[in-house]
């Protein structure tokens, strides 16, 4: 992917540059492939443009964007883990259930054990990683297809979740005898209850002293960390290798079993990390929390340009896919589109986004556009009666264009 | 020749149960009451639940177990959970029929798919009690359910009371095709019609989910500078909207009305008690009436074909006492 992306970013390819700037250019070259081709951002730009055109300031303000991204943050984090699994040509259907059990565990630890968030979040990550490890072991060691393993795990984990909770949702806003939130409950709120931020009071860029909404921060940090892991580490290259051609990867010395187990475990770890965010967002853990989140996560990954056949995709792409999904929802909601119409529009736009972001989309479109352009030029130049006769003329000009492809 | 005869015999053997089943369906007419069962001392009840994983239904299960225990001559078999699958529920009901339970209680998942299974129970002369949701077959002995239109109507009346000068209302809806959603929406509109200055400025489907209601409410808060009241067709959605409003520091200007009124720490009654919601309505679980009706059936007493139960309004004044009355832990043993 990286070799293809560099030509698409114009500013970098200045033909001759003074040697002093070479280091900057080299540095830019190092970073830009991580961001992927500019084409990958077209869908996002279109959604944002639609929001700004129809709603202006109501859409494009920090509060609304924070709300929109925050609502999807836990699913975005799931999507990052899902990307790793999909890159190895596997799939993880259990991430929604893993998020559910992690959110329930976080609420139970808060309510019954009165732990603080620095204890709760790591414990939830351990829970998620444990089930992820089970997924990975069954897939890599028992050689069961990951679709089957994780579909089974989806049910197993949901069952455990429902047993833990006795089918009753667990609230995280505990009130003490004075009618105040208990200190631990108040602390738990910063994990994502709307209106509660971290780093408040610090003069931060962009957000000021209001602080940062933790789910958004968590999503960004997870994206950065895992994108660097993928593009800068040996392990990341091994993930692509396993997804590209597992046999070739194994023969060239990659421990494919280890890589597969590791990606499922990381997906579980991230689901465990996202669980408390989901619980704090709703100020309660529902026994059904996270149901069907796996579908949103997979959709974000695919819209972000990853191939379900493995070997192609990036974490930044997945972030773009997540943003498209949640901002689209936001724009449609702000425009008060009816619920039934929203389903249709969302479905169609998702397909459109995937098509536009294909690497070869514009190359395939190019000749057609140029032909259309010539046709209109002919039309305006010629008298109206001779439009049809104008068509043979451009055809003669077509072959050189075909060669350029 | 021999093999063909074998095949014929085998086919006949396979078809026999089918034929028997077909004639059984055709022959018997539905009956009510447990005829000739009065001589027994212990009667077995089978209960088919549509989905354990809803707090309302989890509460129903707990309460039914509690109320059945009050009658020494009744015994409740383990409750089956259809997990929202009508096909699963049909086979579970058929299992109860095969065990020949004395009374069958069903919370149907969907009206149409369960009709045939209910007919089989009627044919087997098993009295059937239907809870809450309707079924496309009226051979049952008794239907016990709450009145969702009335629940919506009372919420509308409360809105009129809370907004004497009128105002802007937003409505959070459950899954649009669910009957309780349709009925509660209808009732609410009837209720607020009393004051023409009350306008529903927006309505959205939040699928009964708290986590879906929060972003929707955030969008509304961004769009409408003046929202006076949120009507939500269940409590979790109302509380999700409350979180959004509290996060935007606008919860104080907005009244929240919910429905369901579960007596759990995370439920609607507590939220009214804590001042997050202006009111909610306890939608009856029907468990107590179901146990009563089952007892009446086995002891040969007459039962009403349709029992409609009213919702109980929860206000900041009565919330504490209602919570104590309906508290789940009271029913657990």
What is B135-166 written as a DSSP string?
-S----SEEEEE-HHHHHHHHHHHHHHH-TT-
Contact A71 B214 (CB under 8 A): yes
Return phi, psi of residue B172, to 5°: -100, 125
* This prediction's pTM: 0.81
Residue B156 domain-assigned (yes or no): yes
The predicted-structure confidence for B50-94, as pLDDT tens digits, reads as follows 988 777 888 899 899 999 999 999 999 999 999 888 999 999 999
For B202, nearest residue in chain A (alpha carbons): A336
Contact A129, A269 (CB under 8 A): yes
CB A226 within 8 A of CB A218: no
Residues B300 and B269 in one domain: no
Residues listed for chain B: 333
| ipTM of the complex model | 0.79
**Average of per-residue pLDDT across A28-56:** 80
Q: In the prediction, which pLDDT does A201 show?
A: 83
- Top pLDDT among B323 and B29 is at B323
**B180 domain residue, yes or no:** yes
Same domain, B275 and B295: no
Q: Which of A194, A192, A189, A188 is nearest to A64 (CA)?
A: A194
Q: Would you call A194 and B214 a contact, using CB atoms and an 8 Å cutoff?
A: yes
Question: What confidence score (pLDDT) does residue A122 get?
Answer: 97
Reduce the DSSP state of residue A174 to 3 states and report it. coil
Instruction: Report the C-alpha gap between A47 and B63 in whole angstroms.
Output: 50
**Could you identify the residue written with the tokens 């009393």?**
B194
A28 — pLDDT class (breaks 50, 70, 90):
low
What tokens appear for A296 in the block? 């949103």
Q: How far is Cα B144 from Cα B289, in angstroms, rounded to an integer?
A: 7
Residues of A in CB contact (< 8 Å) with B are 58, 61, 63-64, 67-68, 71, 162, 166-171, 175, 179, 193-196, 278, 281-284, 286-289, 329-330, 333-334, 336, 339-340
- Determine, yes or no, domain membership for B2: no
Contact B162, B256 (CB under 8 A): no
Mean pLDDT of B235-249: 95
- pLDDT the model gives residue B19: 56
Residue B7 burial by Cβ neighbours in a 10 Å radius (0-12, 13-18, 19+)? exposed
Rg over alpha carbons for chain B, rounded to the nearest Å, is 24
H helix intervals, chain B: 2-27, 55-69, 86-98, 115-123, 148-162, 179-192, 210-223, 235-247, 268-273, 287-298, 319-326, 328-331
Task: Please judge whether B248 and A63 are an interchain contact, meaning their C-beta atoms are less than 8 angstroms apart.
Answer: yes
Q: What is the pLDDT of residues A238-289, one digit of tens each?
A: 999 999 999 999 999 999 999 999 999 999 999 999 999 999 999 999 999 9
Asked if B247's CB is within 8 angstroms of A193's CB, the reply is yes
pLDDT tens digits, one per residue of A69-126: 999 999 999 999 999 999 999 999 999 999 999 999 999 999 999 999 999 999 999 9
**pLDDT of res. A33:** 59
What does the block give as tokens for B244? 């959004």
CA–CA distance, A244 with A19 (Å, rounded to integer): 37
In sequence order, what E strands does A31-89 have?
Answer: none
Min Cα separation B272/chain A (Å): 13
Same structural domain for residues B107 and B186?
no
CATH at B276: 3.40.50.2300
Q: What are the phi and psi torsion angles at B259 (to 5°)?
A: -150, 150
Contact A90, A263 (CB under 8 A): yes
Which secondary structure element, helix H or strand E, spans residue B170, and what is its range? Answer: strand B167-173
The H or E element spanning position B128 is strand B128-131
Residues A180-229 have pLDDT tens digits of 889 999 999 999 999 999 988 888 877 778 889 999 999 999 999 999 99
Interchain contact, B266 vs A168, CB within 8 Å: yes
Q: Give the pLDDT of residue A378.
A: 65
Q: Alpha-carbon distance B123 to B118, whole Å?
A: 9
Residue B80 is given by DSSP the state: E
The maximal CA–CA distance of chain B, rounded, in angstroms, is 91
Whether A6 shows a pLDDT value over 50: the answer reads no
Cite the beta strand spans of A82-206 per DSSP E.
170-171
Query: DSSP letters of A216-245?
Result: HHHHHHHHHHHHHHHHHSHHHHHHHHHHH-
CB contact under 8 Å between B214 and A282, yes or no, is yes
The reported pLDDT for the residue numbered B18 is 58
Q: How far apart are CA B159 and CA B168, in angstroms?
A: 11
Per CATH, which fold does A2-9+33-359 belong to? ABC transporter involved in vitamin B12 uptake, BtuC (1.10.3470)
If asked whether residues B154 and B275 sit together in one domain, one would say yes
Q: Is the pLDDT of residue A389 over 50?
A: no
Do B125 and B159 belong to one domain? no
Residue A346 burial (CB count, 10 A): 15
Structural domain containing residue B77: 30-140+286-305
On whether residue B113 sits in a domain, the answer given is yes
Q: What average pLDDT does range A162-177 have in this prediction?
A: 88
Residues B294 and B266 reside in one and the same domain: no
Q: Over range B23-45, report the average pLDDT.
A: 56
Let me know if residue B327 belongs to a domain: no
Domain count, chain B: 2
* Window from B131-140, B168-177, B198-207 with minimum mean pLDDT: B131-140
Tell me how far apart the alpha carbons of residues A322 and A303 are, in angstroms, rounded to a whole number: 8
Cβ-Cβ contacts under 8 Å, B52 against chain A: 162, 167
Min Cα separation A196/chain B (Å): 7
Annotate B169-199 with b (16+ C-beta within 10 A) or e (fewer): bbbbbbeeebebbbbbbebbeebbeebeebe
Residues B164 and B122 in one domain: no
Instruction: With residue A344 as reference, give the H or E element that holds it.
Output: helix A339-356
- What's the whole-number mean pLDDT along residues B253-278? 93
Q: What is the per-residue pLDDT for A85? A: 97
CB pairs A-B closer than 8 Å: 96
Distance from C-alpha of A378 to C-alpha of A391, rounded to nearest angstrom: 8
Q: Are A71 and A129 in contact (CB under 8 A)?
A: no
Q: Are residues B49 and B121 in the same domain?
A: yes
Interface contact B211-A333, CB threshold 8 A: no
Q: What is the mean pLDDT of chain B?
A: 88
- Which pLDDT score is estimated for B227? 97
Residue B261 DSSP code: -
Helix (H, G, I), strand (E, B) or coil at B300: coil
- Residue with tokens 């792409």, as numbered in its chain: A317
Whether residue B294 sits in one domain with residue B273: no
B94–chain A nearest CA distance, Å: 24
Gap between the Cα atoms of A209 and A220, Å rounded: 19
Question: Which residues in chain A touch residue B54, judged by CB atoms under 8 angstroms apart?
Answer: 167
Contact B328 A168 (CB under 8 A): yes
Rounded-to-10 torsion of CA B238, B239, B242, B243: -140
Give the start-end residues of each E strand in A275-335. Answer: 284-285
Q: Is the pLDDT of residue A391 over 60?
A: no
Give contacts of B175 with chain A, Cβ < 8 Å: none
In whole angstroms, give the CA distance from residue A168 to residue B264. Answer: 8
Residue boundaries of the structural domains of chain A = 2-9+33-359
The answer to whether A350 touches A303, Cβ cutoff 8 Å, is yes
Same domain as B211, residue B113:
no
Q: Which residue has the tokens 């009129």?
A: B160
Same domain, residue pair B258 and B195: yes
Give the CA-trace dihedral at A185, A186, A191, A195, to 10 degrees. Answer: 140
Mean pLDDT of A144-154: 96
Do B168 and B273 have their domain in common?
yes
């Amino acid at each position: 992917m990286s070799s293809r992306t560099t030509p698409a970013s114009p500013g970098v390819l200045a033909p001759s540059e003074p040697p002093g700037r070479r280091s900057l250019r080299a540095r830019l070259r190092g970073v830009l492939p991580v961001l992927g081709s500019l084409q990958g951002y077209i869908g996002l730009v279109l959604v944002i443009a639609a929001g700004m055109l129809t709603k202006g300031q109501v859409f494009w303000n920090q509060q609304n964007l924070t709300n929109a991204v925050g609502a999807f943050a836990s699913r975005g984090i799931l999507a990052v883990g899902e990307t790793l699994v999909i890159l190895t040509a596997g799939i993880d259907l259990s991430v929604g259930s893993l998020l559910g059990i992690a959110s329930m565990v976080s609420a139970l630890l808060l309510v019954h054990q009165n732990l603080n968030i620095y204890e709760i979040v790591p414990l939830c990550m351990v829970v998620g990683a444990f089930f992820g490890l089970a997924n990975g072991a069954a897939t890599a060691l028992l050689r069961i297809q990951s679709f089957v393993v994780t579909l089974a795990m989806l049910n197993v984990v949901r069952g455990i979740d429902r047993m833990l909770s006795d089918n009753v949702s667990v609230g995280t806003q505990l009130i003490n005898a004075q009618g105040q939130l208990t200190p631990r409950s108040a602390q738990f709120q910063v994990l994502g209850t709307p209106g509660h931020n971290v780093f408040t009071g610090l003069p931060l860029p962009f957000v000021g002293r209001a602080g940062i909404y933790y789910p958004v921060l968590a999503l960004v940090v997870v994206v950065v960390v895992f994108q660097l892991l993928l593009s800068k580490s040996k392990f990341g290259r091994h993930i692509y290798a396993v997804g590209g051609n597992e046999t070739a990867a194994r023969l060239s010395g990659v421990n494919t079993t280890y890589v597969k187990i590791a990606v499922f475990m990381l997906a579980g770890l991230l689901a465990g990390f996202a669980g408390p965010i989901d619980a704090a967002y709703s100020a309660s853990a529902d026994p059904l929390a996270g149901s069907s989140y796996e579908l949103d996560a997979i959709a974000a990954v695919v819209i972000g340009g990853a191939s379900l056949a493995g070997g192609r995709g990036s974490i930044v792409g997945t972030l773009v896919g997540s943003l498209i999904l949640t901002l689209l929802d936001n724009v449609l909601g702000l425009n008060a589109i009816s619920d039934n119409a929203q389903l249709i529009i969302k479905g169609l736009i998702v397909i459109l986004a995937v098509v536009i972001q294909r690497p070869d989309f514009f190359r395939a479109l190019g000749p057609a556009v140029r032909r259309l352009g010539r046709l209109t030029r002919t039309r305006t130049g010629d008298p109206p009666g001779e439009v049809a006769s104008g068509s043979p003329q451009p055809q003669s000009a077509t072959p050189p264009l075909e060669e350029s492809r | 020749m021999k093999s063909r005869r074998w095949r014929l015999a085998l086919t006949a053997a396979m078809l026999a149960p089918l034929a028997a089943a077909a004639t059984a369906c055709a022959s018997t007419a539905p009956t009510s009451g447990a005829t000739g069962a009065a001589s027994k001392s212990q009667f077995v009840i089978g209960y088919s639940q549509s989905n354990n994983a809803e707090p309302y239904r989890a509460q129903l299960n707990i309460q039914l177990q509690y109320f059945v225990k009050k009658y020494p001559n009744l015994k409740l078999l383990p409750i089956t959970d259809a997990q929202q699958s009508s096909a699963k529920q049909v086979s579970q009901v058929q299992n109860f029929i095969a065990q020949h339970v004395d009374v069958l209680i069903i919370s149907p998942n969907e009206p149409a798919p369960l009709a045939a299974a209910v007919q089989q129970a009627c044919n087997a002369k098993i009295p059937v009690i239907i809870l809450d949701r309707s079924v496309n077959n009226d051979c049952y002995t008794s239907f016990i359910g709450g009145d969702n239109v009335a629940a919506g109507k009372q919420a509308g009346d409360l809105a009129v009371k809370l907004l004497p000068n009128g105002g802007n209302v937003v409505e959070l809806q459950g899954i649009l095709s669910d009957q309780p959603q349709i009925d509660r929406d209808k009732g609410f509109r009837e209720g607020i019609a009393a004051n023409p200055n009350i306008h529903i400025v927006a309505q959205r489907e939040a699928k009964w989910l708290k986590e879906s209601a929060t972003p929707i409410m955030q969008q509304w808060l961004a769009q409408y500078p003046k929202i006076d009241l949120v009507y939500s067709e269940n409590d979790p959605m109302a509380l999700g909207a409350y979180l959004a409003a509290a996060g935007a520091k606008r919860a104080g200007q907005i009244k929240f009305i919910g429905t369901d009124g579960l007596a759990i720490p995370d439920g609607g009654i507590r939220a009214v008690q804590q001042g997050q919601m202006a009111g909610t309505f306890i939608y009856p679980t029907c468990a107590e009436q179901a146990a009563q009706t089952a007892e009446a059936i086995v002891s040969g007493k007459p039962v009403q074909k349709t029992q409609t139960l009213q919702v109980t309004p929860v206000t900041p004044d009565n919330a504490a006492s209602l919570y104590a009355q309906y508290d789940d832990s009271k029913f657990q043993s």
